[in-house]
Structure 1
Amino acid sequence: MDSLPKLLDKSVDLLENMYDKSTKLFSFSTHLEDGKYINDFNSQGKYRYTVNVLAGIQKLQRFSTTPWNLEKMIENYLSRYLTKDKNVGNRGLLLHVLSLENHKKAKEIYVWLENMLKDRPKALKNPIQDIAWACIGITTYARKYEDKKTLDFARKVLNYLHSDLMNETTLLPKHRLSLRGNFVSFGGITYFLMALNHYARTFNDNSIKTLFDESVRRVLLLQGKNGEWPWFIDSSTGNIMDWYQTYSVHQDSMAMLFLLPAFDSGVEGAKDAICKSYKWLFGNNQLQKAIMQQNPFFIYCSIKQKQFAERPVRILKSVTNKMMGRNANLKKPKYLEFNQECRSYHIGWVIYAWAGRNDFTEFTELTRLSQFEVFW
C-alpha cells in the first residue's frame, strides 16, 4: 500500500477489521474487548454504513492503493442487498459511487430516485439527510450524462434543500416538513452543506457557492468553547437545544465535509474551527482525556450524559428549551461519560474527508495524541 498519513493508514486497518467477508458488509457497531475488535451486524444500519464506507474507499483510491477490490465490493452489495435497501438517501449516495464508476446500474437507481422524488409532497416526506444524499448522487449522475432532463431534475432536488427545507433567516436546514420541523441534528446540517457544496462545485454555480459560504459562517457560531459541535439545533432560531451526545464523527470527519471546502475557498474562521474540532479528540474536551488511541487504533463514539432513557429525555429538554427560547448549556464533567463503541460509517467518513489532503498534519499524523491521557 502507498504511504498514507497515519490517520488514514490506521483507519484502513480498522475498516478491514470491521468487514465481514461472509456477508460482505461493514459492522453497525464495534467494541474493543481485551484489545480485540468485536463487531455487531444486527441492525438495518449496516446497509447505510456499508454504502458510506464504499464512498470513502472510492475517494481514497483516487490517491492511493488500498487492500480492497472496490469493483467486487460494489457487485456484492448490489447482488445481495440492493433489493433490501430501498432508502432514498442510501440509494442517493450509492448512485454517486456508481456514477463515478460508470456502472450500468446507475441508470436504474437514478430512474428509481426520480420516481421517488419527482412529486414534491412525496419527496418532502423524506428527512434532510436522505434528500441531501439523493441530491449528491443525482448531481453526480447529471454531470456525468448532461442531458437536459437529468440536469433539470438535479436542480429540482437541490431546490428542495434550499427553497423548501432551509430557514431563510438562519440559513440552517429543517429536519423535514413535519411536526419535528425545525429541530435538526448536526448530521442533517452537515449533509445539507455537503450537498450544496457538491452541486456548486460540480456545476460551477456561484449563487449556490455563495449560499454555502454564508451558511457555513452561520454554522461556525454553533461550535462550543472546547471545539465541540452540538447534537440538536433549532434551525428557526439557531439556538442549541441539546449538546449531547457530542459525537467524535462530527469532530473529525463530518464537520470536515464542509469545513475543509470552506477553508479551501477562504471562508474566514474555517481553519480555526477545523483545528478546534480535531483537538477535541486528542483530549481538549470536557473530560480532558483522549477519545482515540493508536494501538490498537480506535475512536470511541461520543461523550454522553449519564442517564437512562436518553433519547426521550433529550427530546423533552429540547422542547422545554424551545418553549423558553434559550440555549442548552454544557454539563459538568461529573455528569458525563464516554460512549464506548465505534461505527464503521465514522471511519468511512474519516477516509472520505481526509483523502488527498496534505495539510493539518498535526491531526492526520496524530502527532499530538500522546500528549493527552487515554481514557481507558
Structure 2
Amino acid sequence: MTSAPARYVHLDGETAELTNRLIALATRGLPAMYRAESDEFAFTRVFTPGNAGFSAHLSGKSLRYAAIVALGVGWLPSAEQPALLGGHDLDSFVARLVEQQSTSTNLGDIALVVWAAAQTSHRLLPDALLRLSEFDRRTAPEYVVEAAWVVSALATARGQADVEEHLAQARKRLLDSVRPGSPVFPHVTGPGLVKPYREHVACFADQVYPIQALARLHHSGADKEALDAARTTAEQICRLQGPDGQWWWFYDARTGDVVEGYPVYTVHQHAMGPMALLDLAEAGGGDYAEPIRKGLRWLLGPAELGPGGEPMLLDEPGLTVRKVFRGDPRKIVRAAHTLTTKVRPGLKLPLVDRVYKPADLDRECRPYEFGWLYFAWLASLNAPAKQATAESAGR
C-alpha cells in the first residue's frame, strides 16, 4: 500500500504497524487455505508447532467463508486478487459463489453471497437475490447473525435492485429481536432454535454483525432508529471490554452483562470488533478509536499467557492462533455460568473461573478471519469495492 487506508486515522503508530503486519500475514496465509484439487476454500487450517517448524493441514470446505473472503479481497487492487482467490479474478470467483448458492440451504451462506454480488455490482446479483427471496422465511425465527447478514446484503443491494419490501421485513426482524430494555442482541430472533436453558445467552458475533448491519442500513437510507440501536450495543460491548482489550464472548441477552468472557478470539480483536465499530463510526454513530486500538494491542502478548507466552501471530506461514480458551472438560465453565445466570442474572461460580484458567491455545486459522481483516481496514461505506479497487490499481 502506497498510502495508509482512510480507516487508519483511528490508529496510532503502534496499532497501524500491527495492522499492516496483519494484512501482510493474511496475504501470505490465505493462498495456503485454498484447495487446488477441488477449487474451493477450506473450512480451516490446523497447525502444530514443533522443533523443526510446524505442520499444517486443511480441513473441510465452506461457502460462507469463501463469500467473506470475496467481501474482503474485493477491497484490494484487482491485480492482487487472483493470487488470493485460487487464481480466479473477483468477477469469476463471485460467479462461482452464486452458482453454489443456488443449492445452498443455509440462510447465512445465501445472504453473504448476495452481499458479495451486490458489493461488486455483479451481473448475477438478480439470481442471488432471487435465491435469497425464495429461501428467507422472513417472519420465522432465525439466528441473529444470519438475520443481520440479510440486512447487510439487502442494504448493499439498494440502488441496484428493488429490495425495499424484503429489507423492511429483515430490518423489523432484527430490531424486534432485542428484549425490551436490553442493550444487546440475543442469539436468535425468536423461540424454538435453542434449548430453553441457554435462550438468554448471546455471543460477540450476535453483537457485531447487527451493529454493522444497522450502521450500513442507516448509511444506505437515513434510518435513525437503526443507528441508535447499533450505537447502544456498541457502547455496551465497549463498556464491558476487558482490561487488556479483550472482546468477551458470551453476554446475557436480558441484561447485557457478560456471562462468560472466554474464549477470546483473535479474529474478534483484529477484524470483527474493528469492522463493526468502524462501519458505525463511518455511518455517524460515534468514535470508537480507543477500544479498537486496545483490542488490537491484546494480540501483541495476551496477559492470559504471561510474559514470554506463545505468539498469537505467525508471520512467515501466514497464520493466527484462533483463540485463547479455558482447558475445561466439556466446557464446564460456560455450562456453569449459563445455568446460574439463567436462574439469576449475574450469578456466577468464581471457583470454576479460578480452577480453569484461560491459558490454552486453539492452533487453527480460518479463511474468513482474513476476509474480515481486509474488509475492516480497507472497506468504505462511501465507495463500492469495484470502484475502490480500480482506484487502488491506478495509484
TM-score, normalising length: structure 2? 0.79
- For the 8 Å contact 1:53–1:348, the answer to whether it is kept is yes
Alpha-carbon offset, residue 52 of structure 1: 1.3
Cα 1:338–1:78 shift into 2, 3 Å: same
- For the 8 Å contact 1:27–1:39, the answer to whether it is kept is no
Q: Distance in 2 between matches of 1:267 and 1:352?
A: 19
Q: Deviations over 1:223-254 (max 9, x none)?
A: 11111111111111112111121111111111
The reply on whether 1:113 has 2:132 as its aligned counterpart is yes
Alpha-carbon offset, residue 274 of structure 1: 0.7
Q: Deviations over 1:52-103 (max 9, x none)?
A: 11111113348x8433411222233344x33442211111111011123333
Alpha-carbon offset, residue 185 of structure 1: 0.9
Aligned to 1:363: none
Alpha-carbon offset, residue 269 of structure 1: 6.4
Q: Distance in 1 between matches of 2:241 and 2:354?
A: 15
The reply on whether 1:300 has 2:347 as its aligned counterpart is no
Structure 1: which 5+ runs fail to align?
A: 358-376
Aligned to 2:392: none
Q: Distance in 1 between matches of 2:376 and 2:114?
A: 19
Q: Distance in 2 between matches of 1:19 and 1:30?
A: 10
Choose which of 167, 171, 183 in structure 1 pairs with 2:179. 167
Cα 1:270–1:335 shift into 2, 3 Å: closer
What is the DSSP-based 3-state SS (H/G/I as helix, E as strand, rest coil) of the residue aligned with 1:59? coil
Q: Distance in 1 between matches of 2:199 and 2:296?
A: 30
Aligned to 2:342: 322
The reply on whether 1:257 has 2:278 as its aligned counterpart is no
The reply on whether 1:130 has 2:146 as its aligned counterpart is yes
Name the amino acid aligned to 1:233.
Y
Cα 1:30–1:20 shift into 2, 3 Å: same
Q: Distance in 2 between matches of 1:99 and 1:262?
A: 20
Alpha-carbon offset, residue 137 of structure 1: 1.0
What is the DSSP-based 3-state SS (H/G/I as helix, E as strand, rest coil) of the residue aligned with 1:255? helix
Q: Distance in 1 between matches of 2:358 and 2:157?
A: 47
Greater Cα offset, 88-97 or 23-32: 23-32
Choose which of 206, 211, 218 in structure 2 pairs with 1:200. 218
Aligned to 1:181: 199
Alpha-carbon offset, residue 198 of structure 1: 1.1
Greater Cα offset, 323-332 or 286-295: 323-332
What is the DSSP-based 3-state SS (H/G/I as helix, E as strand, rest coil) of the residue aligned with 1:346? helix
Greater Cα offset, 20-29 or 92-101: 20-29
Alpha-carbon offset, residue 334 of structure 1: 5.2
Cα 1:3–1:269 shift into 2, 3 Å: closer
Choose which of 219, 224, 248 in structure 1 pairs with 2:266. 248
What is the DSSP-based 3-state SS (H/G/I as helix, E as strand, rest coil) of the residue aligned with 2:57? strand
The reply on whether 1:346 has 2:369 as its aligned counterpart is yes
Length, aligned pairs only = 345
Alpha-carbon offset, residue 2 of structure 1: 6.8
Cα 1:250–1:327 shift into 2, 3 Å: farther
User: How big is the alpha-carbon RMSD for the aligned residues of Structure 1 and Structure 2?
Assistant: 2.7
Q: Distance in 1 between matches of 2:235 and 2:33?
A: 36
Aligned to 2:43: 28
Aligned to 2:158: 142
Alignment of 1:192-231 (within 5 A): 192-231=210-249
Q: Distance in 2 between matches of 1:36 and 1:17?
A: 14
Structure 2: which 5+ runs fail to align?
A: 5-19, 381-395
- For the 8 Å contact 2:35–2:42, the answer to whether it is kept is yes
What is the DSSP-based 3-state SS (H/G/I as helix, E as strand, rest coil) of the residue aligned with 1:233? strand
What is the DSSP-based 3-state SS (H/G/I as helix, E as strand, rest coil) of the residue aligned with 1:224? coil
Greater Cα offset, 262-271 or 15-24: 262-271
Percent identical among aligned pairs is 21
Name the amino acid aligned to 1:205.
D
Q: Distance in 1 between matches of 2:335 and 2:104?
A: 28
